[in-house]
């Protein structure tokens, strides 16, 4: 007897997937199911809703199944989709780059506020550890400035360059594959330094959520030490610079005390800590010569 292939409708397949995701403990199971299906059929999410009874082709079903299987193994939605949103812009993401986080948007916001308030015309900015390029691209897309952005990973730089071109900022951001710990790096000539450094300590990595430690690049998460080495080096370069730049750094969860101690050991007093929308300390701002 010939086996009949089940015809799936949009609604049926969404229901089954949602239940499977929920059982696996995936947050927002329905949204995950909808986004993956919309990507597969090339529809918008709204169109899925308008076509609940539409039968899917065999190709669509098998393409969707592959994505669902990956998600059930806790691969992040953003890597499966190959894209995510940050600061209302679209970014391509691959496993070579950290997935941009919503909590990092406040870092962009603080830099943009500073650019406006300081009145520096077209400030020169250095970003350390640019990954997907999201911070530099979001800043340049919303202000007049020139940015140099480093990342130690060649692969990350390729992704960042594609993102910059797609967002129309290629002229203003210069990406460079470079190790920040290279002794020739200085802050001389920069008005602003910005970074969301790898601040998780090596010993905390195994305890992270599987979506993070199973898929995101190790070097983007941790310095393979105590999670403070980037802050230490940034404070050293700040102290060594003649014209002090303003410095904006993301603060990791639970890292505030250690960073404050490091600031005091580095004899840096002119700083503020900004909380995020969840009231967590999130951004360290060190004043530059312009506003000391």
Phi-psi sector, 248: left (phi>0), alpha (psi -120 to 50), beta: beta
Looking at 29, 100, 123, 227, which residue binds ligand GLN (CB under 6 A)?
100
Task: Report the nearest approach of ligand GLN to the CB of residue 98 (Å).
Answer: 4
**Number of residues binding to ligand GLN, judged by CB under 6 A:** 13
CA distances from residue 274 to 33, 104, 139, 251 in whole angstroms, order as listed: 36, 12, 18, 10
Q: Using CB under 6 A as the criterion, what x/- string covers residues 110-129 for binding ligand GLN?
A: -------------------x
Which residue, 41 or 143, has its beta carbon nearer to ligand GLN? 143
Under the binding rule (CB under 6 A), the answer on residue 98 touching ligand GLN is yes
29 binds ligand GLN (CB under 6 A): no
Query: Does position 76 bind ligand GLN by CB under 6 A?
Result: no
- The residue within the footprint of ligand GLN, chosen from 41, 104, 143, 241 (CB under 6 A), is 104
Contact region with ligand GLN (CB under 6 A), list: 112-120, 162-170, 172-180, 191-199: 191-199
130 scored as a contact of ligand GLN (CB under 6 A) = yes
Secondary structure (DSSP) of the chain: -PPPPPPPBHHHHHHHHHHHHHHHT-SSHHHHHHHHHHHHHT--HHHHHHTTTPBPPHHHHHHHHHHHHHHHTT--HHHHHTEEEETTEEEE--TTSPPP-GGGHHHHHHHHHHHHHH--SS-EEEEES-TTSHHHHHHHHTSS-EEEEEES-HHHHHHHHHHHHHTT-TTTEEEEE--TTSTT---TT-SEEEE----B-GGGGGGS-HHHHTTS-HHHHB-SSSS-HHHHHHHHHHHH-SSPPEEEEE--TT-HHHHHHHHHHTT---EEEEE-TTS-EEEEEE--GGG-
Told to check if 173 binds ligand GLN by CB under 6 A, we report: no
| Residues forming a β-bridge with 148 | 126, 174
Smallest separation (angstroms) from ligand GLN to the CB of 134? 5
Q: How many other CB atoms sit within 10 Å of the CB of residue 124?
A: 14
Find the binder of ligand GLN among 131, 227, 245, 281 (CB under 6 A). Answer: 131
Q: How far is the CB of 248 from ligand GLN (least distance, A)?
A: 12
Asked if 200 is part of the footprint of ligand GLN (rule: CB under 6 A), the reply reads: no
132-171: contacts with ligand GLN (CB under 6 A): 132, 134-135
Q: Which stretch binds ligand GLN (CB under 6 A): 12-20, 23-31, 62-70, 193-201?
A: 193-201
Nearer Cβ to ligand GLN (131/281)? 131
Nearer to ligand GLN, 196 or 201 (CB): 196
Under rule CB under 6 A, residue 220 binds ligand GLN: yes
Q: How far apart are CA 141 and CA 136, in angstroms?
A: 8
CB of 217 to ligand GLN, least distance (A): 7
- List residues binding ligand GLN (CB under 6 A): 98, 100, 104, 129-132, 134-135, 196-198, 220
């Amino acid at each position: 007897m010939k086996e009949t292939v089940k015809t799936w409708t949009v609604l049926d397949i969404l229901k089954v997937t949602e239940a499977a995701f929920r059982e696996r403990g995936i947050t927002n199971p329905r949204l995950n199911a909808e986004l993956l299906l919309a990507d597969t059929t090339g529809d918008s999410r709204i169109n899925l809703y308008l076509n609940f009874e539409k039968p899917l082709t065999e190709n669509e079903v098998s393409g969707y199944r592959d994505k669902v299987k990956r998600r059930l193994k806790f691969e992040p939605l953003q890597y499966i989709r190959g894209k995510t949103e940050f600061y209302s812009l679209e970014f391509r993401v691959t496993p070579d780059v950290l997935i941009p986080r919503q909590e990092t948007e406040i870092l962009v916001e603080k830099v943009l506020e500073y650019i406006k308030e300081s009145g520096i015309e077209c400030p020169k900015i250095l970003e350390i550890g640019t990954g997907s390029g999201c911070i530099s691209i979001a800043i340049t897309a919303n202000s007049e400035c020139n940015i140099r952005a480093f990342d130690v990973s060649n692969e990350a730089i390729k992704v960042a360059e594609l993102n910059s071109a797609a967002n129309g900022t290629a002229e203003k951001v210069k990406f460079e594959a470079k190790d920040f710990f290279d002794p020739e790096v200085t802050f001389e000539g920069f008005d602003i330094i910005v970074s969301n450094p790898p601040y998780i300590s090596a010993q905390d990595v195994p305890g992270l959520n599987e979506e993070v430690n199973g898929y995101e690049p190790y070097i983007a998460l941790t310095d393979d030490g105590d999670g403070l080495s980037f802050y230490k080096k940034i404070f050293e370069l700040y102290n060594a610079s003649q014209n002090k730049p303003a410095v904006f750094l993301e603060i990791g969860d639970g890292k505030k005390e250690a960073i404050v101690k490091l600031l005091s050991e580095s004899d840096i007093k002119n700083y503020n800590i900004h909380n995020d929308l969840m009231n967590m300390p999130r951004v360290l701002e060190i004043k530059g010569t312009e506003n000391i």
